[in-house]
């Protein structure tokens, strides 16, 4: 499998490029949408939670953005990736590269979008006077864990979606629930202590807190939480790999 | 073994076709208590390819004829490695390039050049290899002045020529062509034949599926006539195609094809 992926690495590159370029081809603002979507979301949430509901965090916009941008990568990749094998049925039944490649496309293209939105974050942080220091060096580690996490979930999800197409509807609902259950629009401290363990059932919760540590609080993320996130990602990858390999020969028949 | 480039031994592929709608929703599945497929109730079995054996020598072309549903495409996908056989074995020498439909990965908004690149990448080439072959592909397709025009502006003949040219210029050891021969006018067809002849001269192998018996007998040395997943005739292309035509024209009534056998 690794050899097959390595051989087709240029195809992956090209498909990711297409995914990014074609999404905005024909739109007037083009790549600016990469910035505009999170910016508008940030503006509305800041208005609602910082001004209307008075969540007591100084520089709320920066706090929000530090958790929101990774979330957009997560949610974008999951919702696009859930259907990727079904959408790529032409490839699955007529070419010989591993369908894992079709899962990697949304994960990578959303990761690129995420990276492109980082300058936006620094711009907003500078405006609010939030300092981002050397803990940023750990940023790639969190990205790596998130990459594994998304890929692991997608291997299971996209495989099951070949057989049960309505999983994609369910996915949209679950994603919006997980968004509110992750400490993105509120800090973990505002969750009553009794409920806190349940927060971490959400696979993005520990990573969200890690990103906030780096980007907002200017401190190293907790090794325990990061290790936990890594362990969850590995387990989901192992499960996903099992499910995917079990059913991949059937993709060409069903997709 | 060394003079062969494809060896297929007793290969069978059975499809279990689920009688209930494939894309049943989870809710439906639970409500109708059909969450788990029961073989006795829900499945039909189709032996798409049934105990097929043949070999193809290096430097030759094999044609496969047969009616719709006789297992030609399934056999091609088995050769390409897209399907795993239920029993038997498939062995191929070297690089296999499956061209099982024209224009796989083509995008109407992309230019001819971009689409050539994508096609080559799907067939496993690197950007460098594609760049090296670009001139040859474009010349072969006779589309030089349209190279940077979006694909949606192409006529259907231009589209097919472009798609076909990518496949014949990539130079694999085994080239699989499934129903992709109706590509353009007589002069382009002649070029294709010449290309294939040079292919064979260099020890490469072609497998060709077509309804067009004339093309098979003109292009191929040997042929295989599939009927309901079985090999009904094999041998020199002309004879096999003649046998196929005798059957389809109804001069000899074929035995009723036991296509679908319920497991019940």
- For chain B, list the domains and their CATH numbers: 58-263 (3.40.50.300)
d(CA B61, CA B56): 8
d(CA A133, CA A220): 10
pLDDT at B127: 92
Chain A touched by B104 (CB under 8 Å): yes
What is the nearest CA distance from A93 to chain B, expressed in angstroms? 7
Please name which of B108, B57, B77, B63 lies closest in space to residue B11, comparing C-alpha atoms: B77
Please name which of B174, B166, B249, B240 lies closest in space to residue B210, comparing C-alpha atoms: B240
Chain A touched by B106 (CB under 8 Å): no
Residues of A in contact with B84 (CB under 8 A): 249
Count other C-beta atoms under 10 Å from residue B98's C-beta: 25
Strand partners, B127: none
Give the residue extent of every domain in chain A: 2-254
Q: What is the phi/psi pair of residue A26, to 5°?
A: 90, -10
Count other C-beta atoms under 10 Å from residue B93's C-beta: 18
Cβ <8 Å between B96 and A97: no
Chain A touched by B126 (CB under 8 Å): yes
Residues of B in contact with A24 (CB under 8 A): none
Candidates A18, A252, A254; nearest CB to B77: A252
ipTM of the complex: 0.80
Name every residue whose Cβ is closer than 8 Å to that of residue B177 and which is 6 or more positions away in sequence: B99, B167, B206, B207, B208, B209
Please answer whether residues B237 and B63 qualify as being in contact, where contact means their C-beta atoms are separated by less than 8 angstroms.
Answer: yes
Chain A touched by B22 (CB under 8 Å): yes
pLDDT at A113: 92
- State the number of CA atoms in the 13 A half-sphere of A252 facing the CB: 19
Which range among A18-22, A28-32, B97-101 shows the weakest confidence by mean pLDDT? Answer: A28-32
Q: What is the pLDDT of residues A180-226, one digit of tens each?
A: 999 999 999 999 999 999 999 999 999 999 999 999 999 999 999 99
DSSP A99: T
What is the nearest CA distance from B118 to chain A, expressed in angstroms? 7
Q: What is the pLDDT of residues A112-171, one digit of tens each?
A: 999 999 999 999 999 999 999 999 999 999 999 999 999 999 999 999 999 888 888 899
Interface-testing mutation among A96, A246, A254, with chain B (most B C-beta atoms within 10 A): A96
Please answer whether residues B93 and B4 qualify as being in contact, where contact means their C-beta atoms are separated by less than 8 angstroms.
Answer: yes
Q: How many helices (H) and strands (E) does chain B have?
A: 9, 10
What is the nearest CA distance from B77 to chain A, expressed in angstroms? 7
pLDDT at B261: 40
Residue of chain A with shortest Cα separation from B15: A253
Cβ <8 Å between B82 and A96: yes
Q: What is the pLDDT of residues A43-99, one digit of tens each?
A: 999 999 888 988 888 899 999 999 999 999 999 999 999 999 999 888 888 888 889
Mean pLDDT by 10 residues, chain B (264 residues): 84 76 64 59 78 91 89 91 89 86 84 90 89 90 90 88 82 84 73 83 89 82 91 90 84 42 35
Residues of A in contact with B105 (CB under 8 A): 90-91
Please name which of A79, A100, A140 lies closest in space to residue A15, comparing C-alpha atoms: A100
Q: What is the phi/psi pair of residue A219, to 5°?
A: -145, 165
d(CA B92, CA B204): 12
pLDDT at B258: 39
Residues of A in contact with B117 (CB under 8 A): 14
Q: List residues of A whose CB lies inside 8 A of any B CB.
A: 7-8, 10-11, 14, 18, 22, 25, 90-97, 164-167, 170, 249, 252-254
């Amino acid at each position: 499998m690794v050899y097959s992926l390595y051989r087709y690495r240029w195809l992956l590159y090209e498909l990711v490029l297409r995914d990014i370029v074609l999404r905005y081809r024909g739109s007037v603002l083009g790549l600016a949408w990469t910035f505009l979507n999170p910016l508008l979301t940030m503006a509305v949430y800041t208005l609602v939670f910082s001004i209307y509901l008075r969540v007591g965090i100084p520089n709320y916009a920066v706090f929000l953005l530090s958790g929101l941008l990774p979330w957009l990568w997560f949610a974008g990749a999951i919702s696009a990736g859930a259907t990727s094998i079904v959408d790529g049925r032409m490839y699955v039944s007529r070419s010989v590269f591993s369908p894992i490649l079709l899962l990697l496309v949304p994960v990578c293209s959303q990761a690129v979008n995420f990276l492109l939105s980082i300058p936006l974050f620094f711009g907003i942080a500078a405006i609010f006077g939030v300092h981002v220091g050397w803990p940023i060096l750990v940023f790639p580690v969190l990205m790596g864990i998130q990459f594994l996490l998304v890929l692991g979930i997608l291997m299971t999800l996209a495989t099951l979606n070949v057989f049960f197409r309505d999983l994609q509807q369910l996915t949209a609902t679950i994603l919006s629930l997980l968004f509110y259950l992750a400490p993105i629009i509120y800090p973990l401290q505002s969750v009553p202590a009794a409920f806190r363990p349940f927060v971490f059932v959400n696979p993005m919760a520990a990573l969200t807190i890690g990103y906030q540590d780096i980007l907002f609080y200017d401190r190293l993320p907790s090794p325990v939480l990061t290790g936990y996130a890594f362990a969850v990602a590995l387990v989901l990858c192992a499960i996903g790999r099992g499910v995917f390999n079990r059913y991949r020969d059937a993709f060409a028949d069903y997709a | 073994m060394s003079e062969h480039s494809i060896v297929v031994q007793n290969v069978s592929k059975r499809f279990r076709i689920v009688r209930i709608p494939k894309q049943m929703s989870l809710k439906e599945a639970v409500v109708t208590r059909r969450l788990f497929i029961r073989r006795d109730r829900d499945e039909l079995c189709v032996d798409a390819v049934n105990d097929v054996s043949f070999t193809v020598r290096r430097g030759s072309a094999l044609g496969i004829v047969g009616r719709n549903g006789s297992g030609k495409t399934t056999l091609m996908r088995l050769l390409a490695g897209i399907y795993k056989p239920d029993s038997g074995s498939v062995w191929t020498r070297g690089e296999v390039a499956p061209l099982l439909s024209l224009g796989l990965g083509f995008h109407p908004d992309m230019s001819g050049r971009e689409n050539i690149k994508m096609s080559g990448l799907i067939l496993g080439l690197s950007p460098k290899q594609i760049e090296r072959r670009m001139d040859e592909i474009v010349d072969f397709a006779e589309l030089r002045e349209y190279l940077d025009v979006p694909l949606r502006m192409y006529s259907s003949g231009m589209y097919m020529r472009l798609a076909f040219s990518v496949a014949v210029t990539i130079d694999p050891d085994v080239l699989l062509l499934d129903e992709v021969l109706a590509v353009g006018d007589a002069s382009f067809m002649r070029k294709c034949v010449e290309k294939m002849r040079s292919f064979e001269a260099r020890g490469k192998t072609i497998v060709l599926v077509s309804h067009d018996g004339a093309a098979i007998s003109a292009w191929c040395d040997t042929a295989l006539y599939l009927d309901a997943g079985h090999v009904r005739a094999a041998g020199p292309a002309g004879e096999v195609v003649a046998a196929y035509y005798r059957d389809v024209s109804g001069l000899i009534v074929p035995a009723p094809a036991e296509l679908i056998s319920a497991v019940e």
